[in-house]
Amino acid sequence: MTLSDLPLQTNAVVETVHDTHANDTIARRLRELGFVRGESVRLVARGPVGGEPLLVQVGFTRFALRRSEAARVQVSAEKGVPA
């Protein structure tokens, strides 16, 4: 599942960030912000208009992401935590 598809207030773990082309600056920036394999993430809130932006917590830091950016982050349910 992707981060953009994650239900609200659900814990997950980052699997990978997809690059859409060589030297993908958005994918690189997401990794620099902490979206790396094994990191815990949570979808905290969705914006009021079209569900955008998404408020995402990675570690102890929160970021506002576009749905298209969050769709690049592949996640899986966090083990031992109910979805």
Q: Are 82 and 6 in contact (CB under 8 A)?
A: no
Question: How much is the pTM?
Answer: 0.86
How many Cα neighbours within 13 Å face the side chain of 6?
32
pLDDT computed for residue 33 by the predictor: 93
More confident residue, 77 or 34: 34
Per-residue pLDDT tens digits for 28-58: 999 999 999 999 999 999 999 888 999 999 9
pLDDT computed for residue 51 by the predictor: 84
Domains by residue range for the chain, with CATH: 3-76 (2.30.30.90)
Q: Are 79 and 11 in contact (CB under 8 A)?
A: no
Structure confidence at residue 80 as a pLDDT band (50, 70, 90):
low
Q: What percentage of the chain's residues is helix, strand, coil (to nearest 5)? A: 20, 40, 40
